[in-house]
Structure 1
């Protein structure tokens, strides 16, 4: 006895619902003989009659009515599967978790994600903020699908590749004398109060090395852990700071302005992903969305310094 297939069940359900082979054929976009053949094959697979034909029209048997209850549930499930597949294909459904360093996870990522999933109610998003040194742990424990870090990973279970480059910029109070300059040199900062990111921050050594190459020393009068804290102090009128260009992404704080540096200081963002797991389509789209946002922001920072005013 052959097993029933989905086309036979569809034909059976259509006839049961509509009550006519002719109209069922129209809804299924097939010929009437095709529906009759499907019904006959379904009856053979079931092993009992589904319809009485003695009156010249198909009349469902009691067994057919019992079977219809189950086949209706089956086709409803198939429709849900098809709808889910379509949503996944159109990136309207899915789950994605990202772990990233603070400077990029405070403004740029949330804003780009909001635009990406605004009209995709079936997408669930999780953002974890971690220091670059602990991002690897979130990926190894599978708390996130991928990570953006300022530190490359050498973990054999992870894949690491260059993602983008960030420029460092100088932030200062809007009424600071250096605000009149379109570009600021590190030499201009020798005699001003410098609010630096802490020595545990990866940028500290990069910035300090840039000063050293000019034969001058970086002498911070304050050290904080996050660029948001440094910018808050500067906005309040205390000193200047050197932070990632990402600090200028988001709402404009009228108390602070940013200027490009004459001596470029760069840092690399690394994309870290599990080596033995494939990313979802929505994760791949999110990665590209963030990459484009960073590149565009960096281009504006280089070509239009006035945007930092």
Structure 2
């Protein structure tokens, strides 16, 4: 069974005739008929019935076409990959990040990386930490930045950052007069909470519980940036990851340290049992440089 025979069969099935198939393949119509006949001899069943000069697929031919069509989809993916390699010969880099790091830190790293690698094609997805972990494990992403609630079994990981959370509030909130926010100050205060499965949210709730404070949540959201945005426009306050504060103007939101400290941890994730590409290593270096410079670290 030769690829040219399968190509002729595929062309006839999608075009409806040997004449059109010949045009698609840039060959003669008799050549297409010959290839179909050879394929039928190979598979040992009829692919088409000849009805009034037309080819009508047999039931066996339709079943066989389903398999052939799947193989051609695979070939199409290979052609697309080859085109990407040809058009972006220095490579591609697929990055996934949690929203907090994707707000300012990762875009800054992308800018620095592109200055050094202008021909590299970059894909950046901002998504859930669990989706990032699964995508890295499956080889969909070269680098992931995820919060610490993920299961790190099945991926290579390293701690990327570990920052104490801040309480975000509007400028006219009564808590603004305090230099630090303690659990007792939040007694009865409307709160904007991160998703209950968020590890930082759980550590925050534990700190409140230990101080005998019952949290009064009015809104839950998985995004620290949304916590900030809601705090700006209402009477509630919320614990936020310091990575998001770069996108907010200082006059719009007031940030105060929370004591006892509640840490936001993020991990760099890499596909398991695979040597990191040069591009992945270079991008990681840009991320580390920004982290070490403290440009996105709370003041």
2:234 corresponds to 1:237 = yes
Give 2:176's match in structure 1, choosing from 153, 169, 179: 179
Q: Alpha carbon RMSD of aligned pairs, Å?
A: 2.6
Task: Sort the Cα spacing of 1:240 and 1:298 in 2 relative to 1 into closer, same or farther, 3 A.
Answer: farther
Q: Tell me the SS of whatever aligns to 2:134.
A: helix
Give 1:144's match in structure 2, choosing from 126, 141, 145: 141
Corresponding position of 2:164: 167
Please state how far the C-alpha of 1:299 moved relative to its aligned partner: 8.3
For residues 165 and 276 of structure 2, the distance between their equivalents in structure 1, rounded to whole angstroms, comes to 31
Q: Tell me the SS of whatever aligns to 1:149.
A: strand
After superposition, residues 103-118 of structure 1 pair within 5 angstroms as 103-118=100-115
For residues 296 and 260 of structure 2, the distance between their equivalents in structure 1, rounded to whole angstroms, comes to 17
Please state how far the C-alpha of 1:298 moved relative to its aligned partner: 8.0
2:199 corresponds to 1:202 = yes
Give 1:211's match in structure 2, choosing from 200, 208, 211: 208
Give 2:189's match in structure 1, choosing from 184, 188, 192: 192
Compare CA radii of gyration and give the structure with the larger one: 1
Corresponding position of 1:267: 264
Corresponding position of 2:22: none
For residues 189 and 296 of structure 1, the distance between their equivalents in structure 2, rounded to whole angstroms, comes to 33
Q: Tell me the SS of whatever aligns to 1:122.
A: coil
**TM-score, reference length from structure 1:** 0.62
Task: Sort the Cα spacing of 1:224 and 1:125 in 2 relative to 1 into closer, same or farther, 3 A.
Answer: same
**TM-score, reference length from structure 2:** 0.63
Corresponding position of 1:17: none
Check conservation: 2:194, 2:222, Cα contact below 8 A.
yes
For residues 123 and 182 of structure 1, the distance between their equivalents in structure 2, rounded to whole angstroms, comes to 46
Please state how far the C-alpha of 1:295 moved relative to its aligned partner: 4.3
Q: Number of residues paired by the alignment? A: 212
For residues 165 and 300 of structure 1, the distance between their equivalents in structure 2, rounded to whole angstroms, comes to 10
Task: Note the residue ranges of structure 1 that are not aligned, 5 or more in a row.
Answer: 1-87, 305-309
Corresponding position of 1:153: 151
Task: Note the residue ranges of structure 2 that are not aligned, 5 or more in a row.
Answer: 1-88
1:243-267 Cα deviation digits (max 9, x unpaired): 1111212342632111112311113
Q: Tell me the SS of whatever aligns to 1:118.
A: helix
Q: Tell me the SS of whatever aligns to 2:153.
A: coil
